[in-house]
Amino acid sequence: MEFLKIKKQMGVFLCVVIPSFFSRISFAAEKKDIQCLTHYITGLIEDRQGDTERAISEYKETLRLDPDSYVVHISLAAAYLKKSDINSAIEELNLAVNCNPEAVEPHSILAILYSLQNKTDLANKEYELAIKNASRQDPKNISLYKTLGLFYLRQNKLPDALAAFKLVIETDSNDGEAYFFIANIYDRMGDRKTTEDYLKKTLQLNPDYAEALNYLGYMYVQDGRELEQAESLIRRALKIDPDNGAYIDSLGWLYFKKGMLHKARKELERAVTLLKDPEVFEHLGDVFFKLGDIDKARENWQQSLSLDPNRETVKKKISQLPQLIAK
């Protein structure tokens, strides 16, 4: 299976990158190094004809004459990938980076290869460098800053993520999605007021942004305030996406907060069929507990723990059940 994954990634790389090498062979001609150019072109021809060993030999000879050629290191790495020689390919890609630290290609391919080797930290480092280099080459491309921001979010590097998304709104102050992600970051940082401000700005720019509608509505429900407005926001989100389990959970939890337990149960039972999420099962367990159905409460809390064994709130509820039942 791992070999097939490597071959798939390798195939994409070779199809996209190898043809572009022909447009770059002027590097040797500019140096007036005809011998070097001859070896490189011969290597490309052998590569195209399927003689990978001969191609590798020609690329190596080219690098003996011109060891600082970024393009040839990339070509040699691609040839090694054809042989599934990942370690040699990684070595050549790192040499390519040394020749051209601002390049995007070698970092992006290194990220894939390290990922296939389960070297997550190295893969993340290369992916970050690839995006950073790409954004420097195209500083007005906000999608690159968003990609970088999302990368940092996945790594839980919140200040870096915040800086990336703020670059987006500096470039385009009407990008509602960037405001939404900034709200998410401030929420993770524990700044609820700023979170609310950025969610409102998101909805000012895009009133039909369903995720933002639900996020703000659910935040109000969690805080136990503005419940009527919360219901309006959540229902607007559900009008846009009526089968979204997260939005249905929000509505069910709103009913729970209002003491409307049977309505809460109905919505949350539907939510768990659409979204296998530990928080949703915890909510349903809480409803059943309030309704006096201890077995159903325990069942749903245990389901929550099966999805997230470290969920401390649920552990505490289950551990306290005997005392609570005794009362």
Nearest to 304 by CA among 314, 316, 289: 314
Residues whose CB is less than 8 angstroms from the CB of residue 98 and which lie 6 or more positions away in sequence, other chains included: none
Tokens linked to 201: 């700005």
Residues whose CB is less than 8 angstroms from the CB of residue 267 and which lie 6 or more positions away in sequence, other chains included: 248, 249, 251, 252, 255
For the chain, which domains are there? Answer: 1-100 (1.25.40.10), 156-204 (1.25.40.10)
pLDDT at 10: 42
Nearest to 162 by CA among 187, 139, 137: 187
Written as tens digits, the pLDDT of the chain (327 aa) is 443 444 444 444 444 444 444 444 444 445 446 777 888 888 888 888 888 888 888 888 888 888 888 888 988 888 888 888 888 988 989 898 888 888 888 888 888 788 788 888 888 888 888 878 877 877 777 777 787 788 888 888 899 889 889 988 988 899 999 999 999 999 999 999 999 999 999 999 999 999 999 999 999 999 998 999 999 999 999 999 999 999 999 999 999 999 999 999 999 999 999 999 999 999 999 999 999 999 999 999 999 999 999 999 999 999 888 876 766
What is the identity of the amino acid at 8? K
Contact present, 47 and 79 (Cβ < 8 Å): yes
User: Based on C-alpha coordinates, what's the Rg of the chain?
Assistant: 27
What phi-psi label fits residue 13: left (phi over 0), alpha (psi between -120 and 50 degrees) or beta? alpha
Tokens linked to 127: 């992916």
pLDDT at 170: 86
> Is residue 159 packed enough to be buried (19+ CB in 10 Å), middle (13-18) or exposed (0-12)?
exposed
pLDDT at 55: 84
This prediction has a pTM of 0.68
Residue 293 DSSP class: -
Rounded distance, CA 214 to CA 155, Å? 24
Report DSSP letters for 198-209, one per residue: HHHHHHHH-TT-
Nearest to 222 by CA among 196, 198, 261, 240: 196
Residues whose CB is less than 8 angstroms from the CB of residue 249 and which lie 6 or more positions away in sequence, other chains included: 267, 268, 271, 275, 277, 279, 280, 283
Contact present, 128 and 154 (Cβ < 8 Å): no
Residue 300, CA distances (Å) to 24, 159, 218, 275 in order: 61, 36, 21, 13
How many CA atoms, within 13 angstroms, populate the side-chain half-sphere of residue 256? 26
